[in-house]
Structure 1
Amino acid sequence: MSTKRFQLENYKKYLLNRNTASSVVVSYIENCIVTEDEAAKHSFHKIMVHNWPGSHMELFETLMDYFQSPFTPVNCTSQGEITTFYTSSLNFVMKVMKHDFMFPYQRNMFNLDLLFNDRSSADCFDNRVTVDDVVAGVVSNRLSDKRELDLSSFDKDPEFLEKRIHFYKLSMLSQYKILMIRMGRDTKSLNLSNNNLSTIPVDLLNFFIKGDLTAINLSHNEIPALSELQRISSKIEKLWIEGNPLCENLDPSTYVKNIVMRFPRLTELDGITLNQHGVMLPFFKNFLETPDRKTKMLVEKFLTLYFAHYDSNRTKINNFYDAKVTLTINTPFTDAEDAALPSAYALFSRNALHPMKRNFVAAKSNNKMYRNVDACVHALSALPKSEHDPTTFSVDVLRHDKKCMILVVDGTYREKSFDPGQPDRYFRFRRTFVFNIYNINANSVYHINNEMFSISFATKEQIDSSFKTPIRNMNSLTLINPEPEERESISRAFTHVTQLKRTEVELRLKIHSWDLRSAIKEFWDELRKNKISADKFIEDDYDDFSDTSSLIDEVD
């Protein structure tokens, strides 16, 4: 070691250019690279570029593209006509020497000068540590006990800023092979957000996709198109890509559909859980306050289940309410509008245009405040059958602590007319839910203790912007107006489960309006009763259908 250090001292602040880059110097540098000289790793070489017209980042990218040699610049500055930075990469130094200390850029030829061994690591970092050591420390500190590796805003890490290390491109991590092999083995969730990525860093991802990686966060980058996502492993289960240019011109339905087609195992998109049919409700992110993940999950589950029951079998919503719940329903309809609407609106709501009917002083006059779960469900069930458009919802979480949660939901719903000569009625609503939280066996149980339900007519603009895309039934595996790709996917699934021939599969699905649940139930019932002939199946060994029964239990 002492000999190597002594030899390195012979080239202290040695100016390398076309004239001084002798065969002796070249031979020495090549020997350092081959032997992985430890002393040389602590030596930093000053690169000087004359009359560079662009930014520092443009300089780094241009040099790396031209010389095809990765390097990590340190302490980059511009003084007068000279831009300088330091690097400890001897491979980069060798490439510069082999290219005769020149490189072209925008039809100009730029000169490079190298001050070999100008500084040591102690000079650059105030202690004897290599760039590799610093990078390894930063990356290792970003791996959590839950196997989540957070590389977000990587170039702005405080350690890099303090040591003036310019980690200008995240893909530079791929040059640290031993470190990234270890990280790839240990990482389950990878966060690459806020790194100015315009393409998927495939070289970097290759270290992770061979391991247990099931979640990746690419949000708030510069990824321009969905086609870039083809570079990501299809086994990903959780994906974040919001805040990229590819999201700007896509409506929620198209956005979700294209993503789900690419990632068949996806269970969560942009922090929102997909249900078992690959459907998500995009309004769940419109919070007044940004709540924690537990609140998001809770609100998502509640709204999905509540409005699915409310629009299908309203009597089942009693499970959401506390036994002593209090409900009020408020409307602003005129007498003429009340007369034209179903009588339930006038019978069960308090009208804001009739103050005397809103008197809270006397209990007898306050007969439209429903004070228990049975009265509440009865009043809500009396209102006409509705269909809500989740894409119009705005959700505000006003409070969520250990004892209470206050949730406000605004949106649009319609009542379909059974009279061909009458149009559908569209309403705007606001529902304020106040939950009491109880602890039972270490579990938190949420019940609605108060609800305020306000209903008014939707404006023309609100009507025009609602129900633009078919709303999937949240409680079934039904496809509404399925497209060819959707029909193909569900047909393949049904074939895999039943082993029926394709013609029989499509016939059964069409009979059940592409409702996979009911089609499987009918198939299972007929199979148990031996009503399906052998010629309907693809092959003869169709006796074992244990997986089918378990699937039916699961979807139920």
Structure 2
Amino acid sequence: MATKRSQLEHYRRSLLNRVTANASFVEYIENCLSREDEAAKYSFHKVMVHNWSGTEAQLFDTLSEYCNTAIIPVMFSSQSEITSFYTSSLGLILRLIKVDFMFPFQRNMFNVDILFNDKNSVDCFQNTVTIEDIVCGVVSRRFSEKCELDLSNFCNDPEFVDKKISFYKITLLSHFKILMLRMGRDTKSLILSENNLSQVPLDILNFFIKGDLTSINLSNNNIPSLQELFRISSKIEKLWLEGNPLCEDIDSIEYIKNIAIKFPRLSELDGIKVNQHGWSFPFFRNYLSTPDKKTKMVVEKFLALYFTYYDDKSNRKIDSFYDIAAALTMMSNFTEDEEQEIPQYGQCTRNILNPQKRRFTLYNQKIYRGRQAVVNQLANLPPCQHDPTSFTIDVTLHNNKSLFLIVDGVYREENHNSIKQPDYRYYQFRRSFVFKVEVVKSKYSYFITNEIFSVTWASKDVIKACFQNPIRNLNDLCLIYPDPDESEAVIKAFMHITHLKKSEAEARLRIESWDIRNALKVFMSHYQTNKISFDKFIEDDDFSDTSSLIDDDIDHID
């Protein structure tokens, strides 16, 4: 041990270049690498590059590729004609010696010098620690009890900044194989936002796809198109992509279709939950006044986005729809007893049944001014679900300056006071929106400046007519209003899998709204608990392998 340390001290601050680096020095470094002694762990060597004209990241990428080794630099500096950094990578030092210190693509210049063992880890970090120890500590602290690994803005982690470590790209984590294998085994949710990624980092994700990873956040990166969005794993259920160039100037339907193809089990996209009816709102047919094609496109996109975000109470993002000086007025016609039962409305609405009671006090004017006040008030309302098939739309004005939009429809809220489960309160609403239109470089932006929100109880007839029509789900295997040929084909497939008689197969499919996957799951549950009588099955069939057959078919469908 003393001999190793004496050798290390002997070479301390040795200047290596094309003249001084000899065979004995190369042999010493190779021995250090094989033994993994102090020179390989805790010593830091200063690399000085002359006349480098590129960026910091370009320098490290070029050296890393040329020398075929990962580089995590420390104390990067660029002064005059010399760019320098410290590294603990003896593999890099050895490679530079073997190529005669000739910088890649500039072989006529001997433009790299190395100050060997110039510092140790105590000099750099005030502690005897390796780069690997620091990286492992940073990653471990970003792992939560909920099995979520937050690697957002990883390269600018405060510890890296404090220790002047240039972790210049997140894909360097792929070189810490033991660490990543351990994290990949336990991680269920992975956050990779704000890392300037231009494509999905498969070299990192390969450590996670064999584990329990079901959620990944790639938001606020630089992924340019869906072509760079490689399929990560068929198990992904939640995905965030907002804030990437691929989300700009793309039709929302095409966006959803392409992502659904890559991630067939997706249940949440950009924080919006996928309900049993799917992502897409239906086409709005009930225009009280038929607008031109441009107006219809604007209105339909607004309604689809706004009410999807609005119904997602856990992650409501409607603030971007409102102007900074927006104003909101809410009105209702509930009785005083009803207002006590639903105080969220009684405290915030102007009641048209008793306008005198609320006329003079400033507080009871029920006008909310400013974007934050409007959004806060809407966020205080109970979670709800709208039925877009109930919407009627009236566009009274649309030009290059303004858009006036009136939306009538129905929504429901879960009644937590009811003994029945589930039970809902149904409301009929009218929301009158006034938009201002801003045009910047031929790009039109719409912001809500005024809104009147009126709400009342929905009648029994209205309740019967709403929340009945499913919306086409891009993930589910179900038919929407099937014609006879379509239903016949699904019935035959269901009969083939289950061996049920035609009448029983058709009845089960109708109950499940022609969703063959749900129908199979219900059938399997009933079959295993002996809830299906033998007269429902086709006679003289052997059911010894039915269970495995159904399981195989369900897995294939998924």
TM range (shorter): 0.5 to 0.7
Tell whether 2:183 aligns with 1:199: no
Q: Are 2:67 and 2:92, in contact at CA under 8 Å, matched by a contact in 1?
A: yes
Secondary structure of the residue aligned to 1:96 is: helix
The partner residue of 1:414 within 389, 392, 414 is 392
Give, in angstroms, the shift of residue 189 of structure 1.
1.0
Secondary structure of the residue aligned to 1:261 is: helix
How far apart, in 1, do the equivalents of 2:432 and 2:22 lie? 86
Tell whether 2:145 aligns with 1:145: yes
How far apart, in 2, do the equivalents of 1:139 and 1:326 lie? 46
Q: Are 1:241 and 1:270, in contact at CA under 8 Å, matched by a contact in 2?
A: yes
Counterpart in 2 of 1:374? none
Q: What is the identity, as a one-letter code, of the residue corresponding to 1:428?
A: I
Tell whether 2:314 aligns with 1:295: yes
**Deviation by residue 1:23-80 (Cα, 9 ceiling, x = unmatched):** 1111111111111113431110111111111111111111112222101011111110
How far apart, in 2, do the equivalents of 1:188 and 1:446 lie? 33
Counterpart in 1 of 2:463? none
Tell whether 2:476 aligns with 1:499: no
- Label 1:499 to 1:100 Cα distance change in 2 as closer, same or farther (>3 A): same
The 5 Å alignment of 1:506-517 reads 516-517=514-515
Q: What is the identity, as a one-letter code, of the residue corresponding to 2:315?
A: K
Q: Are 1:398 and 1:406, in contact at CA under 8 Å, matched by a contact in 2?
A: no
- Label 1:58 to 1:543 Cα distance change in 2 as closer, same or farther (>3 A): closer
Counterpart in 1 of 2:62? 62
Structure 1 residues not aligned, in runs of 5+: 300-320, 329-349, 351-357, 364-395, 417-425, 460-464
Counterpart in 1 of 2:407? 429
Secondary structure of the residue aligned to 1:516 is: coil
- Label 1:234 to 1:453 Cα distance change in 2 as closer, same or farther (>3 A): same
Counterpart in 2 of 1:462? none
- Label 1:173 to 1:432 Cα distance change in 2 as closer, same or farther (>3 A): same
How far apart, in 1, do the equivalents of 2:207 and 2:8 lie? 35
Counterpart in 2 of 1:311? none
Tell whether 2:206 aligns with 1:187: no
Give, in angstroms, the shift of residue 222 of structure 1.
1.2
Q: What is the identity, as a one-letter code, of the residue corresponding to 2:148?
A: E
- Label 1:258 to 1:47 Cα distance change in 2 as closer, same or farther (>3 A): same
How far apart, in 1, do the equivalents of 2:489 and 2:263 lie? 18
Give, in angstroms, the shift of residue 547 of structure 1.
10
Q: What is the identity, as a one-letter code, of the residue corresponding to 1:472?
A: I
Secondary structure of the residue aligned to 1:179 is: helix
How far apart, in 2, do the equivalents of 1:108 and 1:428 lie? 73
The 5 Å alignment of 1:516-527 reads 516-517=514-515
**Deviation by residue 1:401-436 (Cα, 9 ceiling, x = unmatched):** 8x86499999994389xxxxxxxxx97227899989
How far apart, in 1, do the equivalents of 2:186 and 2:494 lie? 34
Counterpart in 2 of 1:157? 157
How far apart, in 1, do the equivalents of 2:435 and 2:30 lie? 76
The 5 Å alignment of 1:441-452 reads none
How far apart, in 2, do the equivalents of 1:515 and 1:447 lie? 24
Q: Are 2:196 and 2:222, in contact at CA under 8 Å, matched by a contact in 1?
A: yes
**Deviation by residue 1:372-396 (Cα, 9 ceiling, x = unmatched):** xxxxxxxxxxxxxxxxxxxxxxxx7
The 5 Å alignment of 1:347-496 reads 360=354, 397-399=375-377, 405=382, 413-414=391-392, 428-429=406-407, 453-454=430-431, 472=471, 479=479, 495=493
Secondary structure of the residue aligned to 1:453 is: strand
Secondary structure of the residue aligned to 1:59 is: helix
How far apart, in 2, do the equivalents of 1:255 and 1:326 lie? 40
Counterpart in 1 of 2:286? none
Aligned length: 432
Counterpart in 1 of 2:77? 77
How far apart, in 1, do the equivalents of 2:193 and 2:83 lie? 30
- Label 1:518 to 1:325 Cα distance change in 2 as closer, same or farther (>3 A): farther
How far apart, in 1, do the equivalents of 2:74 and 2:258 lie? 42
Q: Are 1:408 and 1:430, in contact at CA under 8 Å, matched by a contact in 2?
A: no
The 5 Å alignment of 1:190-339 reads 190-276=190-276, 278-279=278-279, 295-296=314-315
Secondary structure of the residue aligned to 2:392 is: strand
**Deviation by residue 1:291-343 (Cα, 9 ceiling, x = unmatched):** 998633899xxxxxxxxxxxxxxxxxxxxx98966999xxxxxxxxxxxxxxx
Normalising by structure 1, we get a TM-score of: 0.62
Q: Are 1:18 and 1:101, in contact at CA under 8 Å, matched by a contact in 2?
A: yes
Counterpart in 2 of 1:337? none
Give, in angstroms, the shift of residue 103 of structure 1.
2.7
How far apart, in 2, do the equivalents of 1:142 and 1:435 lie? 37
Counterpart in 2 of 1:306? none
Q: Are 1:408 and 1:433, in contact at CA under 8 Å, matched by a contact in 2?
A: yes
Counterpart in 2 of 1:333? none
Q: Are 1:477 and 1:515, in contact at CA under 8 Å, matched by a contact in 2?
A: no
How far apart, in 1, do the equivalents of 2:40 and 2:313 lie? 51
Counterpart in 2 of 1:23? 23
How far apart, in 2, do the equivalents of 1:284 and 1:145 lie? 38
Q: Are 1:13 and 1:118, in contact at CA under 8 Å, matched by a contact in 2?
A: yes
Secondary structure of the residue aligned to 2:258 is: helix
How far apart, in 2, do the equivalents of 1:81 and 1:530 lie? 90
Secondary structure of the residue aligned to 1:12 is: coil
How far apart, in 2, do the equivalents of 1:158 and 1:251 lie? 39
Q: What is the identity, as a one-letter code, of the residue corresponding to 1:246?
A: L
Counterpart in 1 of 2:173? 173
Give, in angstroms, the shift of residue 83 of structure 1.
0.5
- Label 1:216 to 1:492 Cα distance change in 2 as closer, same or farther (>3 A): farther
Give, in angstroms, the shift of residue 454 of structure 1.
4.2
- Label 1:492 to 1:231 Cα distance change in 2 as closer, same or farther (>3 A): farther
How far apart, in 1, do the equivalents of 2:34 and 2:212 lie? 34
How far apart, in 2, do the equivalents of 1:152 and 1:73 lie? 20
Counterpart in 1 of 2:44? 44
Secondary structure of the residue aligned to 2:3 is: helix
Q: What is the identity, as a one-letter code, of the residue corresponding to 2:274?
A: L
Q: Are 2:406 and 2:430, in contact at CA under 8 Å, matched by a contact in 1?
A: no
- Label 1:361 to 1:106 Cα distance change in 2 as closer, same or farther (>3 A): same
How far apart, in 1, do the equivalents of 2:22 and 2:169 lie? 33
- Label 1:528 to 1:543 Cα distance change in 2 as closer, same or farther (>3 A): farther
Q: What is the identity, as a one-letter code, of the residue corresponding to 1:20?
A: T
Secondary structure of the residue aligned to 1:104 is: coil
How far apart, in 2, do the equivalents of 1:493 and 1:226 lie? 37
- Label 1:35 to 1:436 Cα distance change in 2 as closer, same or farther (>3 A): same
Identical pairs, percent: 46
How far apart, in 2, do the equivalents of 1:244 and 1:49 lie? 35
Secondary structure of the residue aligned to 1:255 is: helix
Normalising by structure 2, we get a TM-score of: 0.62
- Label 1:440 to 1:38 Cα distance change in 2 as closer, same or farther (>3 A): farther
Give, in angstroms, the shift of residue 119 of structure 1.
0.9
- Label 1:113 to 1:257 Cα distance change in 2 as closer, same or farther (>3 A): same
- Label 1:68 to 1:362 Cα distance change in 2 as closer, same or farther (>3 A): closer
